[in-house]
């Protein structure tokens, strides 16, 4: 058991969401499901699952809380194919897409980010940083090739 695990509150979709997320990410599984009856929220499902060996807990406990962009999960991707895969699987709210951020069908925010961008942003050259920033601020889904062109200043 890991020391800290994100806990996700769903209205009634905890099991469905856990099944969906474990189908999207490799090395993922549902570890445990518990159903509590006669709680103040009625029947409550608690699901413990892993995504890429990172443990999460999901609860179906009624419509008291909603997800917002204050919390998001970053998925670091090494290839454009990986970015495209996660974007296709997770994005469900096109109007919420910007700068590598998306929202899934449950309202949870994700950042699908190329690892190359992190390396580019460590550069001390202000001109390179400005070009890369200008490029990614115009993007919804990140395009590694365009980011690299912006970084080098050539096409």
The per-residue pLDDT of the chain, averaged, comes to: 96
Average pLDDT over residues 124-152: 97
| 135 HSE (CA, 13 A, CB side) | 22
Do the domains at 7-60 and 72-152 have one common CATH topology?
no
pTM for the model = 0.93
Average pLDDT over residues 46-58: 97
> Residue 1's pLDDT band (boundaries 50, 70, 90)?
confident
Q: Where are the domains of the chain?
A: 7-60, 72-152
The tokens describing 71, both together, are 């919390």
> Residue 40's pLDDT band (boundaries 50, 70, 90)?
confident
pLDDT at 7: 97
pLDDT at 2: 86
Distances (CA, A) of 48 to 4, 13, 39, 75, 102: 13, 13, 19, 20, 24
CATH of 72-152, one of 1.10.579.10, 3.10.180.10, 3.40.50.1980, 3.30.1490.20: 3.10.180.10
Report the CATH fold assignment for 7-60.
3.30.720
Helix (H, G, I), strand (E, B) or coil at 5: coil
């Amino acid at each position: 058991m890991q020391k800290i695990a994100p806990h996700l509150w769903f209205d009634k979709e905890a099991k469905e969401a856990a099944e969906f997320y474990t189908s999207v990410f490799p090395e993922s599984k549902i570890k445990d499901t518990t159903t509590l009856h006669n709680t103040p929220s009625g029947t409550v499902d608690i699901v413990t699952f892993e995504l890429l060996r990172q443990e999460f807990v999901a609860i179906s406990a009624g419509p008291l809380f909603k997800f917002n962009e204050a919390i998001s999960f970053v998925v670091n991707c090494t290839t454009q194919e990986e970015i495209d895969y996660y974007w296709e699987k997770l994005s469900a709210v096109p109007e919420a897409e910007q700068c590598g951020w998306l929202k899934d069908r449950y309202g949870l925010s994700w950042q699908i980010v190329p690892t190359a961008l992190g390396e580019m942003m460590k550069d001390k050259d202000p001109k390179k940083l400005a070009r890369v920033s200008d490029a990614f601020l115009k993007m919804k889904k990140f395009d590694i090739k365009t980011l690299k062109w912006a970084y080098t200043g050539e096409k």
